Structure 1
Amino acid sequence: MKFIKTSLLFIVVLYLTGCASNYKTIQPRGINYISTNENDGISLQYRYDLLDKKYEKKEEKNGVKLVAIKITNNSDQDLIFGKDVTLEYENGNGVYIMENEKVFKTLKQSPASFLWYLLLTPLNLYTTKTNSYGLPEQTSSTPIGLILGPGLAGGNMIAAGSANKKLKAELLEYNISGTVIEKGETKYGLIGIRTDTYDALKLKIQ
């Protein structure tokens, strides 16, 4: 009869709950926006609650919200986001928009955090059988930790790095700060704001 040590069962539970998360691209051009606001011919549509798994936990832990925005300029002049038009809350308080690189560093997964899986390296799987006296007797041990530890550590580090790369690329692609929004044009963006809430946003025309 084969059995697995309690420590291995414990590690399996940790693996199921602590593995690296994939990054599901947001694609602001194709999502359904829930909230809309308009000011002087300029409309804002936005959406919170874009991330899941570890990235969502990073948002909650660090007091950051990633927001997809869609701005349509139907006014008679070109505008620069962050200069001519900015965001504020419904109560009039300003919105603190984080720098693109700061958003990435705050939300990214840490590949090095998965090195703890190397602690599995000494783990053995024991095989037993019942002897002639009806007692369990160990017959062999298999050093499964030599594969399990480095495999889980390396696999999760690679997965986390790949997911972070996708996040960084999308943040760069939809970095709207300082972008010119021409007359009749629609621009999409991903912004990180410092907040623990989902307060309503509106445009502020300078």
Structure 2
Amino acid sequence: MKIKLTFSLCFIFYLLTSCASKYRVIEPEKIKYISKNEDDNVRIEYKYDLLHKKYRKKEEKKDIKLVAFKITNNTERDLMLGRDITIQFSDGKEAQIVDSKRVFEELKQEPGWYLFYLLLTPLNFYTTNSNGESSSSTPIGLILGPGLAAGNLLGASGANKNFEKELMLYDIYGMEIPKGKSKYGLLGIKSDSYETLNVKVKE
């Protein structure tokens, strides 16, 4: 009986600590950038470590780093990221940019997992009398299971929607950066570490 109770409590604790994560908006234009690099009058400022909780775990698991950028074009011509400008690692190797749609698909939360909360539905709370015998039971699982499942499904779906919206809004790959102007954006880079990034302007 004690083993069953302990298992049940551990299972409930696991589910309750696996709740859906909220998505914290990044807003690249409001970031205080520290890392910088410049080449041929084009400057990049960038920042890693943008995601939190479940999104961050996915980022580490999938070896995709989401990076915020401020790119300033101080040349006398309009430039396009991906055509005229490339992002490189410190060893000179060009960074593999991951399409924003793929970044979303790889790093989003999976709402379907929260249906496991329905396993709590049969849960009953038992009360005992002075003799230690069960006297009554309350089917708390009927409220707890569906309630947690629905709440987390909605929470994860809403967070994913905000995540996708910001990725698309700040997708700057293939975007033209006018001369004398700066653009802010988010780029997914295929990497298993937080490597130093450099900018390279093609001749």
Q: Tell me which interval the TM-score lies in, with the shorter structure as reference length.
A: over 0.9
Per-residue deviation, 1:8 = 4.2
**Residue 144 (str. 1) matches residue 140 (str. 2):** yes
Letter in 2 for 1:119: L
- Partner of 1:87 in structure 2? 87
Give runs of aligned pairs for residues 73-152 of structure 1, distance below 5 A. Answer: 73-130=73-130, 135-152=131-148
- Partner of 2:15 in structure 1? 15
The CA distance in 2 between the partners of 1:45 and 1:108, in whole Å, is 26
- Deviations for 1:125-156, whole angstroms, at most 9, x for unmatched residues? 001121xxxx3121110001111111111110
The CA distance in 2 between the partners of 1:197 and 1:7, in whole Å, is 38
Contact kept? 1:5, 1:125, Cα under 8 Å: no
The CA distance in 2 between the partners of 1:167 and 1:82, in whole Å, is 23
**Residue 197 (str. 1) matches residue 203 (str. 2):** no
Q: Given the two structures, how large is their TM-score scaled by the length of structure 1?
A: 0.93
The CA distance in 1 between the partners of 2:5 and 2:123, in whole Å, is 9
The CA distance in 2 between the partners of 1:147 and 1:103, in whole Å, is 36
The CA distance in 1 between the partners of 2:54 and 2:35, in whole Å, is 25
Q: Which secondary structure state, in structure 1, belongs to the residue aligned with residue 67 of structure 2?
A: strand
- In structure 2, stretches of 5+ residues that fail to align are none
RMSD: 1.3
Per-residue deviation, 1:189 = 0.7
The CA distance in 1 between the partners of 2:133 and 2:188, in whole Å, is 60
- Partner of 1:38 in structure 2? 38
- Partner of 2:162 in structure 1? 166
**How many correspondences in the alignment?**
199
Letter in 2 for 1:40: D
- Partner of 2:25 in structure 1? 25
How high is the sequence identity, in percent, across the aligned residues? Answer: 52
- In structure 1, stretches of 5+ residues that fail to align are none
